[in-house]
Structure 1
């Protein structure tokens, strides 16, 4: 597996992207532009509301790779929505199926009251449920048989992706106007701002039939998706990232197995072509690249070994010999460092199974760097390098004993934290065989921050690891907007 080396498409980000399926069943209304956080004007009578069931084919470059099914009904508390998604993806020449089901109870103003989400692919499964209580969302996540309770403080109303369309419809959306609000993303366990804008009228082909429609844009953290709404107010087409679209279809066609083909290889589609590096990358101490096509955020891009000036990124390799000699006292970390020791829903460093592995793998008198080396060796010996589609988390990876760079990075972060070593997940791109591929690795604090890559077995990680986002578990949302847009030129290396 080392010959191929692990590349990745951020599966959580993909789940986030496709969660917008059914997002825009919008009718063009006659009310002024408003903020959805102000729900005072949302009012839908029984006469205005009609239950619906909708099927859409998920396509990539014209090839059907899955389907979406949405049911929306009114109940005594407000509204209930039930949405199921199925995809067949190709990653590193391997075909993987992914299913996602989301249910939501919405209030009378279409804001989120409670939700449930389940994502499955092969051995990996992730579930989450949540309920709004005053100004907080109490959530339970379940993965690999482990439950974790999390509370998200929310000072305003948020909307569920599968019910946002009806909130927009109730508010009304006029041409050239925009609606703003906040959307709950279960794949990141956070809420994020969005803007919906009417762009104008177009003719689109649906089942080879030219159909007049109004085009709508949804912008979320720099990621733009589109929907086309017919004159009757029905969504007939949606367009997302990596060539994926959705088109209205029938139940029989959506469920017809022979119509569903595997997607094109997502790792290749998302990769970035560059002029080849003529030296072995593990011999390089410095890399300078120029990034075009996306706006770079200095806080997201810069770290202890990477700097940004304008659109130029410079990466300098750490001196391992100098780091090896740095002693670090237990519990001597600054307060701002301790966030990188915390257990989270996806980096479950306090789980007894994981802590036992760490205890058996490391010794009390090991240096921090020595512990990192031992933990990486354990992962190399015990976790099969295999591309998967999942919401990566440490315990699922530990139990299933397989995963790509996402799973390796989450597991390494959790094991390092369990060993009292601050650790974070880095996401960006890495050079392999003449192209840059989207990838994940770690930074660990061993007296100084050090980049390590368990999937590629590198201490330190080579300088072609270009960080584009880091730290937070919703960092994939920042990276997602860059896929397909980044243009990179190698300026210098030595």
Structure 2
């Protein structure tokens, strides 16, 4: 799955771009400055970041190009994100755009300020475009506005403040708490520099995500670090030769695996299972409650996760958005609607429709591979290839095309053996559909849902939802797994119907 990609994209948007100075007279000629950074994970080089800053006619254009090579179970996958913002020299947003490419999959977003102050946003995924009008979020900043704010704060050691960062790729506002830690001597590939250390804290239910930045006297980021899947991600300013040095293989998919304390046989997978898990950090609600999964905090960073005994009321009922098309679930596209109608045939109720849709999608994707980027439903209809995320987005879109509310779930699933590793939980994705008054899970990739599916987050199919679960893969340790008939750990009684995992 591509939860790791979403984190790297967030890193790009949180890294302030370089600037020449706050303002220049209009008459001065255009000036351009390039900054290069090496991107390293766990000490191994995985790519580079190029930042181009152009100042012309009292506008600031910042173009950031992140290029990395992902490796998943021996498959090398090139990934590029190009983000461009145009602002006034005082940090007022004028336009933004972003393009994300992985393998042969591209998605783009373009936003232009209109005369009335609103923004026309065009999102294109798989060749299909969707246009909306959005109000600019109050207080939100693009790259130049962020730089000016952090530069102003750099002389106030000990100051705490908030930045509302607008992310062009995800079209979302990221509220970040900032701490000014003061000037420090920092070793970089080109030598030691005196830089201002500021810390960004992104607060979320899964636990705080912290990124440290070191800024020069113009507010340019010269170094950035954060933790990702248990490893340190570094972005270090250096010259072009250093930034463009060859990448080193690092299997990010393997790093996201979580060991199982015991083998989970087929009969256990079909039963109610209780997991006792330990999660590092200060998460307030690291896993979600669903109509099939119930989470209990037992203190000291430990949680019970009960899966099985499905019943309604574990999560809120659907809202209108759960039935609507979007850039990733193009349920209104004729190709998706026709395919869904073909799959359900003469089914008379939603339970029959979802079962037929699940079977159809399981058979429809004929090339299963890890070298496909996060594709939209329309792209999957066309190329019929992908991994678990492609199965999930296609099934969710086809369900919505039939008027059935559906969501894409991010989580983990058990495998007896994967990539020469035994008894592990792997990143995974599947679908929830609203059937007979509750959310029910359907897994087209594995052709069945069972009690080894641990849900971490759910959403509308946008890959940015996968970011919410990224850190959990390295922060979680499964201490114990046991079925309803074992009582090795005291706790809440199993729910009614706990003898069945509800596999479909």
Q: What TM-score range do you get, normalising by the shorter chain? A: 0.7 to 0.9
What is the match of residue 292 of structure 2? 305
What is the match of residue 279 of structure 1? 265
Contact 2:293 2:308 in 1 (8 A): no
Structure 2 runs not aligned, ≥5 long: 417-422, 485-504
Structure 1 residue 422 corresponds to structure 2 residue 388 = no
Contact 1:25 1:166 in 2 (8 A): no
What is the match of residue 46 of structure 1? 24
Check 1:455–1:111 CA distance in 2 against 1; reply closer, same or farther (3 A cut). farther
Offset of residue 93 of structure 1? 2.0
After TM superposition, the score normalised by the length of structure 1 is 0.82
Check 1:491–1:335 CA distance in 2 against 1; reply closer, same or farther (3 A cut). closer
Show the 5 A alignment for 1:374-453: 374-383=356-365, 384-388=367-371, 390-433=373-416, 434-447=423-436, 448-453=438-443
Distance in 1, matches of 2:145 and 2:124, equals 23
Structure 1 residue 23 corresponds to structure 2 residue 35 = no
Offset of residue 481 of structure 1? 4.3
Pick aligned residue for 2:122 from 135, 140, 152: 140
Structure 1 residue 130 corresponds to structure 2 residue 130 = no
What is the match of residue 94 of structure 1? 75
Distance in 2, matches of 1:299 and 1:253, equals 38
Pick aligned residue for 1:471 from 455, 459, 464: 459
Secondary structure at 1:116's aligned position in 2?
A: strand
Check 1:301–1:430 CA distance in 2 against 1; reply closer, same or farther (3 A cut). same
Structure 1 runs not aligned, ≥5 long: 1-7, 28-42, 324-333
Check 1:175–1:485 CA distance in 2 against 1; reply closer, same or farther (3 A cut). farther
Offset of residue 245 of structure 1? 1.2
Structure 1 residue 63 corresponds to structure 2 residue 44 = yes
What is the match of residue 330 of structure 1? none
Offset of residue 428 of structure 1? 2.3
What is the match of residue 447 of structure 2? 457
Residues 340-361 of structure 1 show CA distances to partners (whole Å, capped at 9, x for unaligned) of 1111122111111111111122
What is the match of residue 350 of structure 1? 332
Point out which structure has higher relative CO (alpha carbons under 8 A, 6+ apart). 1
Secondary structure at 1:365's aligned position in 2?
A: coil
Distance in 2, matches of 1:111 and 1:482, equals 36
Structure 1 residue 82 corresponds to structure 2 residue 63 = yes
Distance in 1, matches of 2:278 and 2:201, equals 22
What is the match of residue 239 of structure 1? 225
Offset of residue 307 of structure 1? 1.5
Structure 1 residue 289 corresponds to structure 2 residue 276 = yes
Contact 1:81 1:163 in 2 (8 A): no
Distance in 2, matches of 1:419 and 1:25, equals 49
Residues 449-489 of structure 1 show CA distances to partners (whole Å, capped at 9, x for unaligned) of 2111122211xx21122222223544333223434323332
Offset of residue 108 of structure 1? 3.4
What is the match of residue 10 of structure 1? 3
Check 1:290–1:431 CA distance in 2 against 1; reply closer, same or farther (3 A cut). same
After TM superposition, the score normalised by the length of structure 2 is 0.81
What is the match of residue 317 of structure 1? 308
Pick aligned residue for 2:243 from 254, 257, 261: 254
Secondary structure at 2:338's aligned position in 1?
A: helix
What is the match of residue 34 of structure 1? none
Pick aligned residue for 2:95 from 114, 117, 142: 114
What's the C-alpha RMSD, in Å, of the aligned pairs?
3.1
Offset of residue 83 of structure 1? 1.4
What is the match of residue 363 of structure 1? 345
Offset of residue 130 of structure 1? 0.9
Contact 1:294 1:482 in 2 (8 A): no
Check 1:152–1:12 CA distance in 2 against 1; reply closer, same or farther (3 A cut). farther
Offset of residue 318 of structure 1? 5.4
Check 1:230–1:44 CA distance in 2 against 1; reply closer, same or farther (3 A cut). closer
Residues 316-352 of structure 1 show CA distances to partners (whole Å, capped at 9, x for unaligned) of 3357xx99xxxxxxxxxx9954321111122111111
Distance in 1, matches of 2:200 and 2:262, equals 37
Check 1:152–1:365 CA distance in 2 against 1; reply closer, same or farther (3 A cut). same
Check 1:162–1:302 CA distance in 2 against 1; reply closer, same or farther (3 A cut). farther
What is the match of residue 496 of structure 2? none
Check 1:234–1:103 CA distance in 2 against 1; reply closer, same or farther (3 A cut). closer
